[in-house]
Amino acid sequence: MRATAKLLLVTHADCALHETTLGHPERPARLGAAIAGAALPGMERLEVRADEERAQRALRRVHAPGLIERFEKACEHAPAIFDCGDNPISSGSFRSAMAAIHCALAAAQAGGDRRGLRAWLPVRPPGHHALHDRAMGFCFFNNAAVLAEELLANGVGPVAIVDFDVHHGNGTQAHFWERDDVFFLSLHRYPYYPGTGSGDEVGGGPGWGFTRNFPLAAGAGDEIWEAALATGLEEVLRAYVPAAWVVSAGFDAHRQDPLGGMDVSENGYGAFGRLLDEAAGENPVFAVLEGGYHLEALRGSVRAFLAGLTGVTAP
């Protein structure tokens, strides 16, 4: 275990205020499961304080002002559906999404210069499908993209984003498509929702070669996922050594997940953590919750992943 390894837990109670319809997989109970998975020796909880002006400024680096305003207004008239049929909202949904952004900004500020830091952000709603001007796929604001942009604004760059959710992070890819200061690496089921993420999607303009997709067939298990991640991380490091790593950590490729159709085990997620820890070295890693809808599988997968990422043995 690295002597300097630390686990910073960055979350906020308001992330539970986003209530969905009965039977919807993205439910408040996910937050408790994702937090419980972080109960490891040496874990430190960061106090998150809201800075509305800073949050609005950070959001506008990623999203159109119209989206932010539409979403806030829609929540005032909730319950409702926002932008697409799988995005039910409640009166607390905007507060939840803003709390996730406050967590992302607090993590970037606290951890950008801490050697060996590993930060876990169990937040909701998830974010990696959120587009510049439209919400989709359970996502309203792109938490991982906002975090990466905040790191860059603070002079911490280049950044790598690694997304291992079972669904392709189309919103994140679109935002950084023509950028060479962020390397976007994604492993995901394909073809599958949202339909993007083929192997020939590699970025455009100055960002050509800084997007790398590993489309995986339904039913793929630990060995295939681990090999793809190891190869992808090697490709990132051939491009440059990221000053920070942002992880869109979705756990819906777990074999028990009701949506994923994959065969990854908790041991597989532990291997993901070890591979990322080795690639990052002493540079900070910020892992942000995306999917994962079987509560017990989510708790166990988070614990295995964080144990691998920090080198701390789970009790």
Please say if the pLDDT value at position 3 is more than 70: no
Cα–Cα distance measured from residue 92 to residue 60, given in angstroms and rounded to the nearest whole number: 21
Count helices and strands in the chain by DSSP H and E runs: 9, 10
Q: Which of 279, 281, 274 is nearest to 308 (CA)?
A: 274
**3-state class of 268 per DSSP?**
helix
Q: Is 129 labeled as catalytic in the residue annotation? A: yes
DSSP state letter for 46? P
Percent of the chain surpassing pLDDT 70:
97
Average pLDDT over residues 104-109: 97
Mean pLDDT of the chain: 96
The gap from C-alpha 90 to its chain's centroid, in whole angstroms, comes to 22
Query: How would you classify the pairing of strands 88-89 and 80-81?
Result: antiparallel
| pLDDT the model gives residue 287 | 98
Which position has the higher pLDDT, 115 or 226? 226
What is the token pair recorded at 21? 């319809």
Q: Which of 2, 24, 154, 155 is nearest to 81 (CA)?
A: 24
Contact 102, 48 (CB under 8 A): yes
Cα–Cα distance measured from residue 186 to residue 197, given in angstroms and rounded to the nearest whole number: 8
Average pLDDT over residues 265-289: 98
Cα–Cα distance measured from residue 30 to residue 44, given in angstroms and rounded to the nearest whole number: 21
Give the model confidence (pLDDT) of 124-149 as tens digits. 999 999 999 999 999 999 999 999 99
| pLDDT the model gives residue 26 | 98
Domains recognised in the chain with CATH numbers:
6-310 (3.40.800.20)
Q: How many residues does the chain have?
A: 315
Give the model confidence (pLDDT) of 228-274 as tens digits. 999 999 999 999 999 999 999 999 999 999 999 999 999 999 999 99
Contact 230, 268 (CB under 8 A): no
DSSP state letter for 314? P
Contacts of 104 (CB under 8 A, 6+ apart): 58, 121, 123, 143, 144, 146, 147, 150, 286, 288
| pLDDT the model gives residue 214 | 98
| pLDDT the model gives residue 4 | 45
Q: Is the dihedral of CA 51, 56, 57, 61 positive or negative?
A: positive
| pLDDT the model gives residue 193 | 98
Give the model confidence (pLDDT) of 176-208 as tens digits. 999 999 999 999 999 999 999 999 999 999 999
Taking the model in full, what pTM does it have? Answer: 0.97
Distances (CA, A) of 235 to 1, 231, 232, 304: 25, 6, 5, 25
What is the token pair recorded at 260? 């994923």
Q: Which of 249, 250, 253, 265 is nearest to 300 (CA)?
A: 265
At 27, phi and psi to the nearest 5? -120, 160
Q: Which of 18, 102, 128, 129 is catalytic?
A: 129
Cα–Cα distance measured from residue 261 to residue 17, given in angstroms and rounded to the nearest whole number: 29
Please say if the pLDDT value at position 313 is more than 90: no
| pLDDT the model gives residue 118 | 97
Strands (E), the chain: 6-9, 43-45, 80-81, 88-89, 117-121, 159-163, 182-189, 211-216, 244-249, 285-289
Give the model confidence (pLDDT) of 65-78 as tens digits. 999 999 999 999 99
What is the token pair recorded at 68? 């932010």
Give the model confidence (pLDDT) of 16-48 as tens digits. 999 999 999 999 999 999 999 999 999 999 999
| pLDDT the model gives residue 290 | 99
